[in-house]
Structure 1
Amino acid sequence: MKLSVPGVRRIPAIRAIPTISARVALPVGLALAGLLATTAPSATAAPVASPRPAQSAPAAVLAAPDIPLANVKAHLTQLSSIAAANGGNRAHGRPGYLASVNYVKGKLDAAGFTTTVQQFTSSGATGYNLIADWPGGDPNQVIMSGSHLDSVTSGAGMNDNGSGSSAILETALAVSRAQLQPAKHLRFAWWGAEELGLVGSRYYVTNLPTADRAKISGYLNFDMIGSPNPGYFVYDDDPTIEQTFKDYYAGLGVPTEIETEGDGRSDHAPFANVGVPVGGLFSGADYTKTAAQAQKWGGTSGQAFDRCYHSSCDTTANINDTALDRNSDAVAYAVWTLSAATVPPPTGTVFETLTDVTIPDNGAAITSSLNVTGIAGNAPPTLRVGVDIKHTWRGDVVIDLIGPSGTAYRLKNSSGSDSADNVIATYTVNASSEVASGLWRLRVQDVAAQDTGYIDSWRLTF
């Protein structure tokens, strides 16, 4: 964390037969509202098409995952090793900083991010910003999270700012593991030369076209979030971002305070100065923890939040695990919440139609349609087809599943000896050659006289 930056602006279910309806059955916990539609039936016995195709499960807004503390600390260990192998620090213009950039970039590239290394010059040395974009989301609404990756020359910089850098790295990797599909575009950044006066972040903002600045819906900054004698401070800049962090900590029963110690001292300042909404978290630097703060947060009053601030003792031993764990989870909570993070329907999603279709006695085959959307790739080799057909002589009934390609998969043949009523069964079909998303049809034919029935419902489970 930089010592001071002047000129920062604060931003301050009964059914008549036949009825017509269509629905989607969702996994437990997903809302069903708005997915059921009904209309009056035709009086004819001919097949009746649903006025509204069955819909796929909508993408579900997810709760943020728990960020494993062990993973965050593993990144810290790697950054510590990099410092140890490069003169004991990861400062701007030193080999330890570039090695830190390469470590983070390698993790992100492997996880599917699009990474960009931005070069700048400061104090006669080349500096680097690392920018990582997650595919998808509205490019006109960007949620950006950032931390400075450089240390001072006097130490490895594990709390300042390996802590923030490691937390947003693991959050980014959690985005990849979840294959998140956020409504807003996600961008992560690791800044260079923060300790020389916010040089890297200023360079990024200055060189960002005005139109692109306007696309950043919020910039979240994480600088020193594992202080050994921690406090829980929230930036009081953008009200929405501020409340998001407060909500997270309220859920833990942990009180917060407005961050004043480091206001304007870190990489949110260049963004705030051009009108980008900003927010962030901070666990304290060289200021002294008061008795009141020790009473509500624990720790030692009369002692600095971080006694090793900008010192050689800012090692991996200079980290409070509880603070790092809580703040890392808060990073993910904010990213998930502010981007309205969603995922596609999970495996096991059921697509079902309740559209009743009359089966003519000893007549032509009829079909019932089901539109599947939102399922990537091909159908599974064990596609489950659930059928509920009401009929007075099931032996008359022949049933086929028709895939999006037009291929027919026989589910049931007719049988003169099968004299029971109704066909209520689940069949398994190897439909792996079919694209999953598309129009699927159930084709049913009555091949003998004197008995009638109708399709009550049918479903596909992916």
Structure 2
Amino acid sequence: MSLSVPRRLAAVAALAVGGLIAATAPSALAAPTAPAAPTAVTAAPTPPDIPLANVKAHLTQLQTIATNNGGNRAHGRAGYKASIDYVKAKLDAAGFTTTLQTFTSSGATGYNLIADWPGGDPDSVLMAGAHLDSVSSGAGINDNGSGSAAVLETALAVSRAQLQPTKHLRFGWWGAEELGLIGSKYYVNNLPAAERAKFSGYLNFDMIGSPNPGYFVYDDDAAIEQTFKTYFSGIGVPTEIETEGDGRSDHASFKNVGIPVGGLFTGASRTKTAAQAQKWGGTSGQAFDRCYHSSCDNTSNINDTALDRNSDAVAYAIWNLGAATPVPPGKSFENTADVNIPDSPGAAVTSPVTASDVPGNAPATTKVDVNIVHTYRGDLVVDLVAPDGTVYNLHNRSGGSADNLVASYTVNASAEVANGVWKLQVKDVAAQDVGYINSWKITF
């Protein structure tokens, strides 16, 4: 991971629920009274338990590669090319179509590795990736052998299961991330606009085995974020919003061209607080990774529990998001103005959007993305109000004591004319906690 910059930290608790070498995949480069139940992802085949031993075996191989090549796997060094070759060989043997993409940075040749799994809707691509390079001072086993190995083993699990997802699955390993996201920028910048439009999402995994770990989730795309939070809630692990590396890893390259992104992170040089140590264990007052960008970032610099949990989370996301029914691009209307939510007993507040130029009625799969900052979401009742005044309940005091409500809902609004003023209506029905509507969006 590149050096990060801090921004506002919002704690979020768990929820209830250019050359080519080798074969190139063509797309690699180039009734209102009954509201629908809230949902973030469609039911999918059961995700596998990713074997920790397999992930660690990949890390051992990356360590050996570094040891045999000057102690690192940095861009332009022999250790990086050997790392790419190792990952590519595993994927080729597992039945993936692999593409080796070359670029030049700092006077040296760099490599991205792209792996496509056969099948799935070519117009709905779900991609997961990690940077494979290290800094020159060490082997980069946590940063970012951990993410690279977890993505690799998840891809191999796709092959073992002979998974037949609804979406087309693609995996990527990026070069020269440590020099400023060079590899992932090159990949995205060389994708035609028509190819970029096919992405349903990009999932990034950079440092997921930190020795003094936190459990951080990117707060970018709401559906992706919800998927990860659902996984961690299911195993009883609270999460927080990722801020230390926000925008400083490869997901930024995708986000900057409008591709939905999300991901996981266990912390780098920032210090773990006492509250975080109480929540997650580990040592307060100490960095999440004391060996960040140092020579001690070797196979001893990994927390097995964090690596195991996050590797399983990678697979959970691929299985669930990959099986979700592709939705053709719709027309969206968004309100990003903050609206304060008064504490109980206060009146309901609304945030309006005006839909226009949408023919006919709203679809049965109308999507509502909600981002509400609140210190106790169990206080909240959230509704979608149609132009004719019909109310569709989205959230009714669920989620307990967790902070914030960031979620996607699917509403059968097919009885409603799409054009007109739609409102997100929020009421705080219990005392003491406060917050505000940060933004919301409706997509037809």
Q: TM-score range by the shorter chain?
A: 0.5 to 0.7
Contact 2:125–2:167 at 8 Å: present in 1 too? yes
Q: For 1:2, give the aligned amino acid.
A: S
- For structure 1, which runs of at least 5 residues remain unmatched after alignment? 7-59, 343-462
Other structure's SS at 1:280 match = strand
State which of 65, 80, 90 in structure 2 corresponds to 1:107. 90
Q: 1:341 to 1:273 in 2, by over 3 A?
A: closer
Contact 2:270–2:287 at 8 Å: present in 1 too? yes
2:259 aligned with 1:276: yes
Other structure's SS at 2:46 match = coil
Q: For 2:145, give the aligned amino acid.
A: G
Other structure's SS at 2:223 match = helix
State which of 178, 193, 204 in structure 2 corresponds to 1:210. 193
Q: For 2:57, give the aligned amino acid.
A: A
* 2:70 aligned residue: 87
Give the Cα separation in 1 of the matches to 2:199 and 2:82: 29
Measured after TM superposition, the shift of residue 292 of structure 1 is 0.2
* 2:3 aligned residue: 3
What are the residue-to-residue correspondences of 1:52-201 with 2, within 5 Å? 61-201=44-184
* 1:260 aligned residue: 243
Q: For 2:272, give the aligned amino acid.
A: K
Other structure's SS at 1:316 match = coil
Give the Cα separation in 2 of the matches to 1:3 and 1:296: 26
Other structure's SS at 1:217 match = strand
Q: 1:240 to 1:218 in 2, by over 3 A?
A: same
TM-score after normalising by structure 2:
0.64
Give the Cα separation in 2 of the matches to 1:204 and 1:302: 39
- For structure 2, which runs of at least 5 residues remain unmatched after alignment? 7-42, 326-444
Give the Cα separation in 1 of the matches to 2:277 and 2:290: 15
Give the Cα separation in 1 of the matches to 2:295 and 2:222: 37
* 2:279 aligned residue: 296
Q: For 1:101, give the aligned amino acid.
A: I
Give the Cα separation in 1 of the matches to 2:76 and 2:150: 24
2:325 aligned with 1:337: no
Cα deviation code 1:14-69 (max 9, x no counterpart): xxxxxxxxxxxxxxxxxxxxxxxxxxxxxxxxxxxxxxxxxxxxxx9411000000
Give the Cα separation in 1 of the matches to 2:133 and 2:5: 17
Contact 1:180–1:341 at 8 Å: present in 2 too? no
Give the Cα separation in 1 of the matches to 2:218 and 2:163: 27
2:213 aligned with 1:220: no
Cα deviation code 1:209-264 (max 9, x no counterpart): 00000101000000000000000000000000000000000001100000011101
Other structure's SS at 2:163 match = coil
Cα deviation code 1:92-136 (max 9, x no counterpart): 000000000000000000000000000000000000000000000
Measured after TM superposition, the shift of residue 3 of structure 1 is 1.2
Give the Cα separation in 2 of the matches to 1:5 and 1:87: 30
* 1:362 aligned residue: none
Cα deviation code 1:389-448 (max 9, x no counterpart): xxxxxxxxxxxxxxxxxxxxxxxxxxxxxxxxxxxxxxxxxxxxxxxxxxxxxxxxxxxx
Other structure's SS at 2:113 match = strand
Cα deviation code 1:281-327 (max 9, x no counterpart): 00000000000000000000000000000000000000000000000
Contact 1:148–1:194 at 8 Å: present in 2 too? yes
Contact 2:131–2:250 at 8 Å: present in 1 too? yes
Give the Cα separation in 2 of the matches to 1:5 and 1:206: 24
Contact 1:181–1:341 at 8 Å: present in 2 too? no
State which of 268, 271, 287 in structure 1 corresponds to 2:270. 287
Give the Cα separation in 2 of the matches to 1:235 and 1:174: 24
Q: 1:159 to 1:121 in 2, by over 3 A?
A: same
2:306 aligned with 1:323: yes
TM-score after normalising by structure 1:
0.62
2:321 aligned with 1:310: no
- Larger Rg over CA atoms: 1
Contact 1:193–1:200 at 8 Å: present in 2 too? yes
What are the residue-to-residue correspondences of 1:394-433 with 2, within 5 Å? none
Give the Cα separation in 2 of the matches to 1:209 and 1:144: 16
Provide the identity percentage: 83
Give the Cα separation in 2 of the matches to 1:297 and 1:157: 24
Give the Cα separation in 1 of the matches to 2:315 and 2:5: 28
2:220 aligned with 1:237: yes
Give the Cα separation in 2 of the matches to 1:61 and 1:186: 14
Give the Cα separation in 1 of the matches to 2:275 and 2:5: 28
Contact 1:194–1:266 at 8 Å: present in 2 too? yes
Measured after TM superposition, the shift of residue 4 of structure 1 is 4.5
Contact 1:93–1:125 at 8 Å: present in 2 too? yes
Give the Cα separation in 2 of the matches to 1:209 and 1:253: 42
What are the residue-to-residue correspondences of 1:3-22 with 2, within 5 Å? 3-4=3-4
Other structure's SS at 2:323 match = coil
Other structure's SS at 1:155 match = coil
Q: For 1:239, give the aligned amino acid.
A: A
Runs of 4+ in structure 1 deviating by more than 3 angstroms, as ranges, are none
